Amino acid sequence: MKPIRVFLKERSYDIHVTDSFNNLPNLLTKFQFHKFGIVISHGCILTRFGKQLIAPLKQSGWDIHTITVPESEKSKSLDMAKYLYKQISGISQMRNPVIFAFGGGVVGDLAGFVAATYRRGVEYIQIPTTLLAQVDSSIGGKVGVDLSFGKNLIGAFYQPLLVLDNTTLLKTLPKRQIQSGMSEVIKYGVISDRKLFQFIENNLQDCLNLESNVAQFIVERCCRIKAKVVSKDEKDSTGIRVILNFGHTLGHALEAATGYKKFTHGEAISVGMAFACRLSTNLGVLKQAESNRIVKLLEKVHLPIAVKGVSRRDVMKAMSLDKKFIAGKSRWVLPIMIGKAIVKEELPQKAILSALEHHIFS
């Protein structure tokens, strides 16, 4: 499959959607660096897929080392970054390694952050292993770690040299992770790709099984959208990239209000998308029938569209905190039809509260 280009002048790079790692050494030959790499991953991922990734690299003369981190959002911390700096220094002996971020969103964000900051920046490669990371978090260079009082508060825009999505890894993902990833895939359909949305509606079971052809089709389709958006607004500064945050204003608040424990990111944004659809229909910008289709698809994937046992007040508080971090304004991505969305700032509090009543129950 032809690579998908992210156009960022001298920081441009390709996303390769493929079914093996065998061609990776070949893809790396155009970069003139020493063949010295450190794979940052989780132990279980290395056990399952490490050999597939590392053997072809070793065969082409790469000196490869591995470092593992625990499989938890807690790994996205400054303490863990410090641990990695120390490990990398010990292995590298002043050589600059190429970092391979081999895992889901946590590994991608953490390893990317370490690559951005170790010795003022070393090259890194994103090799995402979850659906969510393949279609979203590995692309676009948002790297970072969390602080105790907020997610992604320390970070950078630091682009990888390339992204390699091996879709065969997705087949063994736990069901909940596939559903969570599908939430982001549906997001892309709603904001920008009606055909993708229809494809998921018509081939839902195949999409959830992530069989090779279908997985490649949906991953490629989403990566094309993300690449196009990031190419237009790398630093999230012109209001274009914010479209990727459909469902995220409420989704992030829901995650924060529940301590990042109760819901996966995909589940939280599913509630957020259903909520944003309701807001859109209430504001008269989205037809009820279109909203129903979106909500129905989320339900068919067994994603939540409303949650119990969560305080509405906590969610509102988390949303107002989030607002502070985006120049004092809350931003809402509202679908106007399946395949097209707009961004609105500062919706009336009354509209938000009345829609929230249908999605958050204590």
Q: Which of 38, 114, 122, 244 binds ligand GLY (CB under 6 A)?
A: 244
By the 8 A CB rule, do 132 and 105 touch?
Answer: yes
191 touches ligand GLY (CB under 6 A):
no
322 touches ligand GLY (CB under 6 A):
no
Count of CB atoms situated within 10 Å of the CB of 292: 12
By the 8 A CB rule, do 54 and 39 touch?
Answer: yes
160 touches ligand GLY (CB under 6 A):
no
Question: Whose Cβ is closer to ligand GLY: residue 173's or residue 244's?
Answer: 244
231 φ, ψ (degrees, to nearest 5): -60, -30
Angle of helix 194-202 versus helix 212-232 axis, rounded to 10: 160
136 touches ligand GLY (CB under 6 A):
yes
Triad 94, 138, 65: Cα angle to 5° = 35
163 touches ligand GLY (CB under 6 A):
no
142 touches ligand GLY (CB under 6 A):
yes
Question: Whose Cβ is closer to ligand GLY: residue 97's or residue 140's?
Answer: 140
Minimal distance in Å, beta carbon 230 to ligand GLY? 7
Residues between 223 and 242 that touch ligand GLY (CB under 6 A): 236, 241
Minimal distance in Å, beta carbon 126 to ligand GLY? 12
Scanning 110-118, 134-142, 215-223, 257-265 for contacts with ligand GLY by CB under 6 A, the matching segment is 134-142
The closest residue (CB) to ligand GLY is 244
140 touches ligand GLY (CB under 6 A):
yes
Minimal distance in Å, beta carbon 263 to ligand GLY? 17
Interface ranges with ligand GLY (CB under 6 A): 136, 140, 142, 236, 241, 244
